[in-house]
Structures are given as C-alpha cells and as structure tokens.
Amino acid sequence: MAIRERKAAKTKLALLDAAMELMIQRPFEEVTVAQICDVAEVSYATFFNYFGRKEDLLLYFVQLWSVEMAHLAANAGGGRAGIERLFGYTAAQCERSPEIMEEIISFLAKRQNVVKLSIKPLTEMEKRLRFPGIEHFDELADTGMRAVLPPLIRQAIQSGQLPEDTDEFEVLLALAAIFMGAPVALAQSRMEGLGQAYRRQLSLLWGGLCAENDEHKDRRRGK
C-alpha cells in the first residue's frame, strides 16, 4: 500500500510540475492534457486516474500552496507577522514565475467557491514528497486563503496587534482584495515590485484599522 501511495503521489506531482513548466511557455488555456502527459511521461489515460479535468491541476496547486503558506505563517509567529510573511513569500513566487501566478490568480478570481468544489484532500504522502522539511501536516489546512488567513487574523486580534472589536470577515475581504488586486495592477510590469506593493497595502490596512478604532474610542469618550 505504501508503495502504491508513493507512486500515486509522485505521478500527481509530476503532472502538476509538467503543467507549471508548460504554463511558463504559453497560456494555460492553450496547454492540452496530452502535452502535460508528454512532459510528465505518463499516459493520457493515467491523467484521468488522478484529475477529472485540466483545471483540477490549478486547484491542486492551490492545495499545496495552502499547506506551504500555513507552515510559513505559523513559523513567523502568527498574527500580523504571519500574514505579512505569507504575502511576502507569494510576492517572491510571483516575481520568479509571473506567468504561473497570473494564471492561478485569474483562476481563483473566476472560481469564488474553490473551497466548495469536490476536490480530494491531499494525502500524507503527497505532502511529504513535496515538503520533506515540514512536519505535523495535520495542523496545516490545504483549502486556500479562506482556511489559512482567518486563524492569523484571529491571532492578531487576540494578541492586541489589531483592535479587539475588529470584524474578522471584513479584514479577510480586505486581505483578499490586496492579495488578488495588487498582482493584477502590476501585471503590465510582470509583477515587478509586488513585494513592496504588498507591504505598503498591508501597512495602510493595519493603520486604517487602528485609526478607526481610536476614532470609535474618542466618540465614546465624547471627544
């Protein structure tokens, strides 16, 4: 069973890597399943043993990204530091491979309910092979930003980094807008300077939340 699980995990990861390689060369909509299979060196029929359609590879990328981001955020201490590290690492990925990240962000923008789609959870073997240096995978979500960000927002509030009456959902919406919007705004420059843009937008968000909280306090005091 372990050998079979390992083979399945290696095949899925090989198919994903093949798709990522091809996406650097051309838009994802122009990439075919046959081309992906050729690069991965697996049969056309084998692809459909693991993925129902080509777009499922993008969901698979998001799942793996989620695990890695959750790990990075947790090791940054959680809260605002975790959020900032997540955005910083994503910016570095975008600047290294803008073509891939443009496709992922475009896909996510079109698929607002990605986490509600019927996708299989990552197996322990898939996580081990992709992230050999990470442990305790059961603590790391694999369902996208909606799973990774809320715990960090909650930690920021509980630790006093954000006002105690902060609306968690509103912050999640603001972070999602920054995450998706900044790369789109910088698409013409191939996302150059995305890290700086993320830092600036996060700084404005934190400052605005704290300023709004101070204003509410002043009103309650009658100032």
CATH number, domain with residue 12: 1.10.10.60
Q: Is the pLDDT reported for residue 223 higher than 60? A: no
Q: How confident is the model at residue 115 (pLDDT cuts 50, 70, 90)?
A: very low
pLDDT digits (tens, 9 = 90+) for 60-87: 998 898 888 888 887 887 899 999 999 9
Q: Which of 30, 53, 76 is the last residue of a domain?
A: 53
Q: Domain check: are 60 and 37 in the same one?
A: no
Q: What share of the chain is helix, strand, coil (3-state, %, to 5)?
A: 75, 0, 25
Q: What is the pLDDT of residue 196?
A: 94
Is 89 buried (19+), middle (13-18) or exposed (0-12) by CB count in 10 A?
middle
124 contacts 214 by C-beta, under 8 angstroms: no
Residue with tokens 């694999």: 142
Cβ density class 57-80: b for 16+ within 10 Å, e for less: bbbbbbbbbbbbbbbbbbebebbb
Residues 19 and 100 grouped into a single domain = no
Q: Quick one: 127 and 172 in the same domain?
A: yes
Q: Are 41 and 73 found together in one domain?
A: no
| Domain total of the chain | 2
- 120-176: pLDDT as tens digits: 788 889 999 999 988 777 767 777 777 789 989 999 999 999 999 999 999 999 999
* Dist CA 158 CA 146 (whole Å): 19
160 and 195 inside one domain:
yes
Same-domain pairing of 82 and 117: yes
Using CA atoms, how far apart are residues 22 and 41, in angstroms rounded to an integer? 14
DSSP 30-85: G--HHHHHHHHT--HHHHHHH-SSTTHHHHHHHHHHHHHHHHHHHHTTSHHHHHHH
Instruction: In whole angstroms, give the CA distance from residue 136 to residue 148.
Output: 15
Could you tell me if 87 and 156 lie in one domain? Answer: yes
Do 102 and 129 fall into the same domain? yes
SS3 136: coil
Catalogue the E-assigned strands of the chain.
Answer: none
Structural domain boundaries, residue 176: 55-220
Task: Give residue 215's pLDDT.
Answer: 55
Clarify whether residues 2 and 85 are in a common domain.
no
